[in-house]
A and B are shown apart, each in its own frame.
Chain A
Amino acid sequence: MSQTPTHPKLDAKIPSGHISEKWTNFKSTAKLVNPNNKRKHTIIVVGTGLAGGSAAASLAELGYNVKAFCIQDSGRRAHSIAAQGGINAAKNYPNDGDSIWRLFYDTVKGGDYRAREGNVYRLAQISNNIIDQCVAQGVPFAREYSGLLGNRSFGGAQVSRTFYARGQTGQQLLLGAYQAMEKMVGAGKIQMYARHEMLDLVVADGKARGIIVRDLVTGEIERHAADAVLLCTGGYGNVYYLSTNAKNSNVTAAWRCFKRGAFFANPCFTQIHPTCIPVSGDYQSKLTLMSESLRNDGRVWVPKTIGDKRSPEQIPEAERDYYLERKYPSFGNLVPRDVASRNAKEQADGGKGVGETGMAVYLDFADSIRRLGDHTISERYGNLFQMYEKITGDDPYKVPMRIYPAVHYTMGGLWVDYHLMSTIPGLFVLGEANFSDHGANRLGASALMQGLADGYFVIPYTLGNYIANNTFPKVDESSEPFAATEAEARGRINQLLSVNGSRTVQDYHRSLGHIMWDYVGMGRTRDGLQHAITEIGKMREEYWQNLKIPGSPDTMNKSLEFAGRVADFMELGELMARDALQREESCGGHFREEYQTEEGEAKRDDENFSFAAAWEYQGEGTLPTMNKEPLTFEYVAPSQRSYK
């Protein structure tokens, strides 16, 4: 199956050797930077989530001068803070048969064979170091009475490999990275620029050499030069308006890099998480995830009769359809996310949805409460139940939860090689922002693992290798490429402000979200996607004629910030639809209704679509072109996923 990429830039640079030796081989042959020279190099890290925070701290410890940027008022508030469930590692502490190989295998399979084997294997290898590192930093993972670390099974894994810190794993991991970063801030090795938004990438002599940012407090536009730029800006789930992402999550930084020549891979691969609190009205600004650990003890059901509007306790056992248990006897409620989500949609579309909107299914704890008692359930899920009650006003100890899928994670992102370098030399992309190791579907508790692997353990080696292999003629912040890029960034801001129409940014964003959710969401069709492309096109045109941004550019102005981001989201949304349209198969989170098995499961087409689609910008007004990085599977033979 070994094919060559359709573009010379798409060389994945996978090291030679057996899969278990590739990373070691790379590390032992990578060039090193002399310790005294490291302080002569400035590295820009955009984003302080798990990926950016861990990278900034690690690089500063090595001696590089780091400039770190984030949108929030503190590095600690990056979206990673919200991750609840846990982080995977192949420690095999429970002795239940886990291994690096098995984690590798599960991740490749879970991703529906759309990820690169070499990267995934490295991720599994590194997973164990992450746990060691985090524990040493004081991350209070759950422990047993023995004082040793506890594990749980998560998101349908058949081994207990998930480390967790109550329902706040992301928070605790991020605080570990943040504290390591603040330590280096205190030591003067990291300069922290909070409340700064990257507006563009500066490319000089073909290499990424700096960024243009806006100080979100004063509105000032600044130039920052460096020898390499690390983009750790997270995912773009907010293209759907409603998602579980934080409000400030956006695609702008990545999109600007795309426009400067970085390829954007698999943009249509989106993960819809099955257990979120359902949408209740148009006023809603975001969706809240209920950790999928809930599916360990909750049973998913809908009424058997279409349009049954009785309240749940009035529906007798015999008239309930525990559809996941019925359809997938061996995995039951623990099927992977994409399967669980699609099934919920199927029930709702079939008229069996519950709640006022009919866009929900029940997640019922009554059986578990009977079996284990209130106490055990509250010990396991107390904070989640509380959160649910706070939001909905219902008490899940008494009434089944109502849940529905919501956009949660984006597997797509900027294309990177094994070194995490994009198609622009010197531009590295880490964490959710890259097209990642998760293929077409990410397993639960694997994003935290990937973000930290990238930042703590991969980039220190691959960046060093890049620095050592290249020369860096001094670029001045007053030089031509900086001036030109800044002028473009200013131009965009002025253009946005000059429209002075009548519709607000939020209004456009909401409409974009509706289009995306309806046509580029859980079930996609050729017609729907084409419709989405047309609609978004129209909306984009209107945007630049009818947008209204109050306020001025030289103060804090969130409307202006969002206006820039929504403009980029619209362009991205269109590309996502194009990508989904070209991928005439169903795989992982990408479900094309035309391509399903008789039982309604995703039907992959390995013959024609075993590749990463890397989109290349061709200039304003021209359609981007698609290049292919073929995926070859030497170690895990693709098979149809089955969770029956």
Chain B
Amino acid sequence: MSDTLMTIHLKVWRQDAPTQPGKFVQYTVPGVNPHMSFLEMFDLLNEQLSVKGDIPVEFDNDCREGICGSCSMVINGMPHGPQRGTAACQLHMRHFKDGDHIVVEPWRAAAFPMIRDLVVDRSSLDRIIAAGGYISTNTGAAPDANSLPVDKDDSDRAFDYAACIGCGACVAACPNASASLFTAAKVGHLALLPQGAPERKRRVINMVEQMEKEGFGDCSNHGECEAACPKEISISAIAMMRREYVKAVVGS
């Protein structure tokens, strides 16, 4: 692998505050090592800006290993960039070429209000969980863990859905800015486990309602969410959520 340093041309969305208009600003970043992650390239840019006395670009990040769901950049029109199953923090510069032009934008959705530069407010996703994305077991009330066997296949499928990191890339990618994949992943995770059964009906109805209240768009089955999802969660989750919903409405 070549270690020759690259120069990258960035066009980054800058916005000081939700109330102020934003704009794209072009930056040229020399000295980009191909082993760097995309966020490390931004660190480099920010160092260069800081030294010049310019204001660094704000972007959310924390774990930098694709699990916390903080990072959130639309890179060349694709949330988390061109690689599938990858969060922006796991995207490495070796996938770009010297002299490449890259456009970087924040997640765009009315339910994700702008905060600053590439940082948006995703608390709407928390509120969807608060509306029903849990199993109510007060601490201490649990029976022995092995008292309720769970079919391994169900458990594995539940896990596939539970892998969601709550990043919101599905919303960012969706032409309708729908949060269906996020919501469905949680509905699916909990509906597949016997522990989740008692609250099944209320959960799906309340979570779907919250999704609507937050101003997310409808699902049109574009499937763009699954393509963008860093955990590659399948839209079968959305199908399952609909089935759960019908059962909840008809069956009570």
Bound pair (A, B):
yes
Chain B positions 96-141 with a Cβ under 8 Å from a chain A Cβ = 115-116, 119, 121-123, 125-127, 129-131, 133-141
Known interface pairs A140-B155, A283-B40; A132-B129 also in contact (CB < 8 Å): no
Q: Which of A103-111, A179-187, A319-327, A625-633 lies at the interface with chain B?
A: A179-187
Q: Which of A13-21, A141-149, A602-610 lies at the interface with chain B?
A: A141-149
Please, which residues of chain A bring their CB within 8 A of the CB of B92? 390-391, 393
CB of A73 within 8 A of CB of B60, answer yes
CB of A135 within 8 A of CB of B145, answer yes
Asked if A590 CB lies within 8 Å of chain B CBs, one says: no
In the complex, A550 Cα to B45 Cα: how many Å? 14
CB of A182 within 8 A of CB of B195, answer no
Chain A: interface residue count, which band? 35 or more
CB of A246 within 8 A of CB of B62, answer yes
In the complex, A145 Cα to B149 Cα: how many Å? 10
Asked if A229 CB lies within 8 Å of chain B CBs, one says: no
Asked if B248 CB lies within 8 Å of chain A CBs, one says: no
> Please, which residue of chain A has its CB at the minimum distance from the CB of B149?
A147
CB of B139 within 8 A of CB of A77, answer no
- Chain B at the A interface: SS class: loop
Asked if B205 CB lies within 8 Å of chain A CBs, one says: no
Known interface pairs A93-B146, A140-B159, A183-B136; A77-B70 also in contact (CB < 8 Å): yes
CB of A143 within 8 A of CB of B166, answer no
In the complex, A82 Cα to B123 Cα: how many Å? 21
Please, which residues of chain B bring their CB within 8 A of the CB of A178? 129
CB of B51 within 8 A of CB of A502, answer yes
> Please, which residue of chain B has its CB at the minimum distance from the CB of A93?
B146
In the complex, A146 Cα to B16 Cα: how many Å? 56
In the complex, A149 Cα to B150 Cα: how many Å? 9
Q: Which of B31-39, B74-82, B170-178, B213-221 lies at the interface with chain A?
A: B31-39
Asked if B224 CB lies within 8 Å of chain A CBs, one says: no
Chain A positions 298-330 with a Cβ under 8 Å from a chain B Cβ = none
In the complex, A288 Cα to B195 Cα: how many Å? 34
CB of B86 within 8 A of CB of A506, answer no
Known interface pairs A81-B63, A182-B126, A550-B56; A285-B138 also in contact (CB < 8 Å): no
Asked if A136 CB lies within 8 Å of chain B CBs, one says: yes
Asked if B250 CB lies within 8 Å of chain A CBs, one says: no
Known interface pairs A58-B139, A77-B68, A77-B69; A556-B115 also in contact (CB < 8 Å): yes
> Please, which residue of chain A has its CB at the minimum distance from the CB of B83?
A390
Asked if B47 CB lies within 8 Å of chain A CBs, one says: yes
Chain B positions 166-210 with a Cβ under 8 Å from a chain A Cβ = 166, 189-190, 193, 195-196
CB distance from B128 to the nearest CB of A (A): 9
In the complex, A540 Cα to B44 Cα: how many Å? 24
Chain B positions 8-62 with a Cβ under 8 Å from a chain A Cβ = 16-17, 33, 35-37, 39-40, 43-44, 46-47, 49-51, 53-56, 58, 60-62
B144-158 Cβ-contact flags toward A at 8 Å (1 or 0) = 111011111001101
Asked if A558 CB lies within 8 Å of chain B CBs, one says: yes
Known interface pairs A72-B62, A138-B195, A183-B134; A285-B43 also in contact (CB < 8 Å): yes
CB distance from A150 to the nearest CB of B (A): 9
Asked if A331 CB lies within 8 Å of chain B CBs, one says: no
Determine which of B47, B144, B145 lies in contact with A506 in the assembled complex, contact meaning CB atoms within 8 Å.
B47
Please, which residues of chain B bring their CB within 8 A of the CB of A475? none
Asked if A387 CB lies within 8 Å of chain B CBs, one says: yes
In the complex, A147 Cα to B195 Cα: how many Å? 13
CB of A76 within 8 A of CB of B139, answer no
In the complex, A280 Cα to B1 Cα: how many Å? 13
A51-90 Cβ-contact flags toward B at 8 Å (1 or 0) = 0001001100100000000001111110101100000000
Most chain B CB inside 10 Å of its own CB: which residue of A91, A283, A391, A559: A283
Q: Which of A164-172, A261-269, A488-496, A593-601 lies at the interface with chain B?
A: A164-172
Please, which residues of chain B bring their CB within 8 A of the CB of A247? 61-64
Please, which residues of chain A bring their CB within 8 A of the CB of B127? 186
CB of A550 within 8 A of CB of B53, answer yes
Please, which residues of chain A bring their CB within 8 A of the CB of B86? 390
Known interface pairs A143-B150, A185-B130; A91-B51 also in contact (CB < 8 Å): no
Determine which of A172, A285, A550 lies in contact with B39 in the assembled complex, contact meaning CB atoms within 8 Å.
A285
Please, which residues of chain A bring their CB within 8 A of the CB of B65? 82, 286, 288, 387
Asked if A281 CB lies within 8 Å of chain B CBs, one says: yes
CB of B62 within 8 A of CB of A281, answer no
Known interface pairs A74-B122, A132-B145; A457-B190 also in contact (CB < 8 Å): no
Asked if B162 CB lies within 8 Å of chain A CBs, one says: yes
CB distance from A20 to the nearest CB of B (A): 20
Asked if A376 CB lies within 8 Å of chain B CBs, one says: no
CB of B64 within 8 A of CB of A132, answer no
Known interface pairs A76-B69, A550-B56; A185-B126 also in contact (CB < 8 Å): yes
Of all A-B residue pairs in the complex, the 6 with the closest CB atoms, nearest first, are A147-B149, A136-B142, A186-B130, A179-B134, A132-B142, A136-B137
A-B contact pairs, 21 of them (CB 8 A): A72-B62, A72-B68, A74-B125, A77-B62, A77-B70, A132-B142, A136-B135, A137-B134, A138-B158, A138-B162, A148-B146, A172-B162, A180-B134, A180-B139, A288-B65, A387-B90, A393-B1, A504-B47, A550-B55, A555-B116, A559-B56
* Contact surface of B with A, Cβ cutoff 8 Å: 1, 16-17, 33, 35-37, 39-40, 43-44, 46-47, 49-51, 53-56, 58, 60-70, 86, 90, 92, 94, 115-116, 119, 121-123, 125-127, 129-131, 133-146, 148-152, 155-156, 158-159, 162-163, 165-166, 189-190, 193, 195-196
